[in-house]
Chain A
Amino acid sequence: MRDVYISHCEKDFLQKIVTGGRRLDGRNYNESRKLNISFGSEYGSCIVSLGETKVLSQVSCEVVQPKQIRPNEGILFINLEITPIAGQQFEANRQTDLTVYLNRLLEKCYKDSKCIDLESLCIVVEEKVWSLRVDLKVLNHEGNLIECASIATLTSLAHFKRPDVTRSGDKVIIHTLAEKDPIPTVLYHYPVCLTFAIFNDLLISDPNFLEESVCMSNMDEGGNRGGILVVGMNQYKELCLLDLTGAAIDNSNIVHRALLVAADRCKELVDLVKSTIVDDDTARQKRVKKNFSDIITTEHMLSLNKKDLSICLKNYNVEDIQSPQDEEMEDEDVKPEPSKYDVVPSLPQTAEIVAQKGASTWIEISSGSEED
């Protein structure tokens, strides 16, 4: 893995605005990026995007011999991979500290919390059990991989259905999907991992790539205390996992605050995951064909999920501006330019750059020829 360097200017600036109560993308401290879940054609395949962070997940199953010490339990295997598709700093087919760390966290969260009923995966004691394999591929690394990966794991596990099995004497018949309806996986509870970045005494949920790296590098330079706190919690507000990387916390209040935020957010996330799965299931029962090609849209031209481009300077302090007229002047200067962006103040003291709606006209023209 190549090193990613962040300039001192960037570091100092981010540190400054975070202590000043702002974030680069205009979110509040406790605000998360937009979550989007889309399903593939098979059971147990999904792409989860949290802001720009994207993770692909696929669950597969096979019949294997159980472990000697647990003859009546199925096997769950979670494997996360980071290929150069996630970012140019990653190299192919190489275990990095990051992948080991993420795999261990996911294992802790899903295997050790015993959220899956492994005994229901048993076919014949000591001979045949189902082995579930969750393959996670990071598609884009824009920070907070663990939260995105854990939502992807949970969604694909809850979405997955294994083929039905009948036993007749010594024989075991595995039915295809056409013969018998597949069986969903039994989940006792739904744990989700959340990430918090710690800047001294401040707690920031869902940090992006820059925030993650800055809060970790704070620790190296001394003076400031920074770190990343991962909290795994289920929908009943039960703690499943707690992990801290970075500087030691000397304030018990931080963990407590993180747990309070996490409790609400986990409930929200699990409800969302459940409802998307239910929606998908009803669509599938109506024989609507689902495919990953559904995620291809022509609505946005740039790789940003939410809008074409948004630079949000939310809660811009009025005292910082010398005179309000200056700001207006700037706006007026920008508008008459033959630019493809409009500067729209959606909130007071907010500047957002939104791509012109007129851009969609030439989309329609070319979409006609696409159907050839």
Chain B
Amino acid sequence: MTEAADLKECKLKHMKCELNVLSKSDGSAILSQGETVTLISVNGPLDIKVQNQSIEKCYLEVLFCTKGGRPSVPDRYKEHIIRQTCESAIMGSLYPRTGITVTIQELEDYGGLLSCAVNCACLALLNSGLAMRYVFAAVSCAVDETGNVILEPTYQEVMNAKARFNFVFDSRNKNLITGFSEGIFSEAAYEEALEMSRAASDLVFTFYRDIVTKYSNVI
């Protein structure tokens, strides 16, 4: 690998994953990245209401549930990001007039919840056996007060950060499929964060491969 030196630099948080955690779902995964944990179930293709049916592709529904309290606007926003990401990856045209439900349950949030949820969604989709164009990996970055770009920031770093980024890459050409940022940052910082995340996404893809080879003998 040409970027061997780069890869050494970017260290991601320790990832742990288990597939098939829920017996009633078609596909399910629980993923922890550092101390952030999410649980995702994928059901589908299912029969849905006529008003939601589309003759061209499947209808994708993403639901984000927080651990406690009522649903809020930021949750809807996360749902929207994950929905768009999954929609680009799933070959929806193979499942016309049906629906796919992706349900996300937050278990612990210590920074990087969105990227953890996206990665977990990818693993759950793989587990459910739906046809996909590519797999996707999300990496989060933050810009601290001095302007340094931090990869996979901790909870404290996220809280103090000036800007936060979430990038999602596909596995084929490492193209950016979702980019989501908040805060104030310079263009150079954005470029740096993007390249750093792109390099780091390799690690996530290797992790996916490990997990899937582990389970593929059984499934």
Interface residues of A (CB under 8 A from B): 2, 40-41, 45, 47, 52, 54, 56, 58-60, 81, 83-88, 92-93, 133, 135, 137, 139-142, 289, 291-293, 295-298, 301-304, 340, 355, 359, 362-363, 366, 369-372
Which B residues lie within 8 Å of A298 (CB)? 18, 214
Inter-chain contact total with CB atoms closer than 8 Å: 132
Residues of chain B from 169 to 219 with CB closer than 8 A to chain A in the complex: 203, 206-207, 210-211, 213-215, 217-219
Does B74 count as interface, using CB distance less than 8 angstroms? no
From B47, B69, B108, A60 is in contact (CB under 8 Å) with: B69
Chain A CB within 8 A of B53 CB: no
* List of A residues within 8 angstroms of B28 by Cβ: 303
Chain A residues with Cβ below 8 Å from B68 are 45, 58-60, 133, 135
Q: Quick one: which of A56, A84, A135, A304 contacts B103, CB cutoff 8 A? A: A84
- For the residues of B in contact with A, the DSSP-based class is mixed
Q: Complex Cα distance A84/B25, Å?
A: 9
Contact between chains at B210 and A291 (CB < 8 Å): no
Report yes or no: A291 in contact with B69, Cβ–Cβ below 8 A.
no
Q: Does B21 reach chain A (CB closer than 8 Å)?
A: yes
CB distance from B62 to the nearest CB of A (A): 10
Q: Which residues of B contact A93 (CB under 8 A)?
A: 71
> Which of B16, B24, B218 has the most chain A CB within a 10 Å cutoff?
B24
**A292 & B108 in contact (Cβ 8 Å cutoff):** yes
B69 and A133 contacting across the interface, CB-CB below 8 Å: yes
State in angstroms the CA–CA spacing of A369 and B207 once bound together: 8
Q: Give the distance to chain A from B141, nearest Cβ to Cβ, in Å.
A: 19
Is A83 a contact of B103 with CB atoms below 8 Å? yes
A160 vs chain B, min Cβ distance (A):
11
Residues of B near A289 (CB, < 8 A) are: 35
Cα of A85 to Cα of B66 in the assembled complex, Å:
13
Chain B residues with Cβ below 8 Å from A86 are 24
Q: Annotate B89-130 by CB proximity to A: 1 below 8 A, 0 otherwise.
A: 000000000000101010110100000000000000000000
**Interchain CB contact under 8 A, B217 and A340:** yes
Which chain A residues lie closer than 8 Å to B87 at the CB level? none
Q: Shortest beta-carbon distance, A178 to chain B, in Å?
A: 14
A275 and B43 alpha carbons, distance in the complex (Å) = 37
Distance in angstroms between the alpha carbons of A139 and B69 in the assembled complex = 16
Docked-complex contact A135 and B67, CB < 8 angstroms: yes
Contacts A292-B108, A301-B219, A366-B210 aside, 12 further interface pairs with beta carbons under 8 A come to: A47-B107, A59-B68, A60-B69, A92-B61, A135-B68, A140-B24, A296-B18, A297-B18, A298-B214, A301-B218, A366-B211, A366-B214
Are A293 and B217 closer than 8 Å at their CB atoms? no
* Chain B hits for A56, CB < 8 A: 67, 105, 107
Whether, in the assembled complex, B88 has its beta carbon less than 8 Å from a beta carbon of chain A, the answer is no
- B214 and A81 form a contact (CB under 8 A): no
Contact A85 B41 (CB under 8 A): yes
Chain A residue numbers with a CB within 8 Å of B41 are 84-85
- Cβ A52 vs Cβ B30 within 8 A: no
Q: Chain A residues near B44 (CB, 8 Å)?
A: 88
Q: Is the CB of A88 within 8 A of B108?
A: no
Question: What is the CA–CA distance of A303 and B30 in the complex, to the nearest angstrom?
Answer: 12
26 A-B contacts, Cβ less than 8 Å apart? Answer: A40-B107, A40-B108, A84-B63, A87-B24, A88-B25, A88-B26, A92-B61, A133-B69, A135-B69, A137-B65, A139-B22, A139-B39, A140-B22, A140-B23, A142-B23, A293-B32, A296-B18, A296-B30, A297-B18, A301-B215, A302-B20, A303-B23, A340-B217, A362-B214, A370-B15, A370-B210
